[in-house]
A and B are shown apart, each in its own frame.
Chain A
Amino acid sequence: MEKNQYELCVKVLKRLEKAGVLKDVILIGSWCIPFYKEYFAGIKYISAIKTRDVDFLIPNPHGIKVNVNIPELLKDLGFIIGYRGAKGYIKLEHPDLVVEFLSPEKGRGTDRPIPVPKLGVNAVALRFLSLLIDNVIKVKVEDFEVLLPHPANFALHKLIIFQRRFKEEKAIKDRNSAIEILKALINKGETNTIRRVFGSLLPKWQKKVIKGLEEAKEREILSLLSVGVSTK
């Protein structure tokens, strides 16, 4: 199943790339982790448990230029539209993968999906996603490139959101993958990148990261972050 999942994910990415959409979206969520393997080549790095959910972050839903109906684009692969919740969030479902679109929450926020008519979908607005847009890397997959949040941003974002999870097991999964990635970055000699990304966060967000690391009893990482960065 895992091989099928990966192959299907690459097919989806390839179609989005051909349609000119891939440059407008960032792959986030647990599916980033297998694609970070290239970034961490030669570094001890364990791929965390991933679900079927492939999340695409649309940084600017109203700024998309191309007109591509994504449900139609993926229809012949067997994807169907699934509506979730009373507000009708769209998910594109396949037994091996579920594609979902997210967007950073702005202002006071909304519980309604953000329509993305140019792509024929809608996006779930969530807090803290701007952290994943600020620092993006490109990873080569076959003959095209995929945008991913920098692993430091990915990990610090996970450290913030795991504390907001309702389900404890999901929180543990997020926390573990964040720590795994931070350790891989330290082994890669990117301690300064972690510090720099941490330093660029709002003080409120920094406090949440510190709280998350304290909960996880990760003293080594805590000591790295506390050098030269005030969280008070």
Chain B
Amino acid sequence: MGVIKGVLKEELENSIRMKSDYERELSKLPKGSLIKKKVKGHEYYYILLREKGKVKFIYKGKVSDEEIKKYREVKEYRAKYRKLLSQVKKQVRFLRSTLRGKESI
């Protein structure tokens, strides 16, 4: 096997492992995002999430600034990890197609 092919094969193995690691990190993040609703001049918070294709609001009432910050961070990390996961999936597809030849991978 050539040097380049060997490097690509190793990178493919790394990307496959990385894909499951990003999926694991995404599953560890709390589900849903925090949204604010104004009812009769009062602000209330809800967790907005999707369950079996249906949008669901879970009442949270009043939440602390700390919790708001936490949900904001979670939202950012979810978006970041999804983007990186999609990048890893593209790498896997690219590496598989590059390596596809006479030898099985």
Contacts and interface: CB of A to CB of B under 8 A. Distances in A.
Interface residues of B, number: 22
Given A82-B18, A82-B21, A95-B18, A49 B4 contact: yes
Nearest to A170: B6
Interface string B73-101: 00000001100100110010000000000
Interface string A90-103: 00011100100000
A78 B17 contact: no
Interface in A143-188: 167-170, 172-173, 176
- Chain A binding surface, main DSSP class: mixed
Contacts of B81: 78, 80
Contacts of B84: 78, 94-95
Contacts, number: 50
Nearest to A175: B3
Contacts of A195: none
A78 to B, nearest CB: 5
Contact of B14 (A98, A167, A172): A98
B1 to A, nearest CB: 5
A51 B11 contact: yes
Interface in B1-41: 1-7, 10-11, 14-15, 17-18, 21-22, 25
Contact of B10 (A51, A76, A168): A51
Contacts of A169: 1-3, 5-7
Nearest to A50: B7
Interface of B: 1-7, 10-11, 14-15, 17-18, 21-22, 25, 80-81, 84, 87-88, 91
Given A49-B7, A93-B21, A172-B3, 6 more contacts: A49-B3, A49-B4, A78-B80, A82-B18, A95-B84, A169-B5
Interface of A: 49, 51-52, 76, 78, 80-82, 84, 93-95, 98, 167-170, 172-173, 176
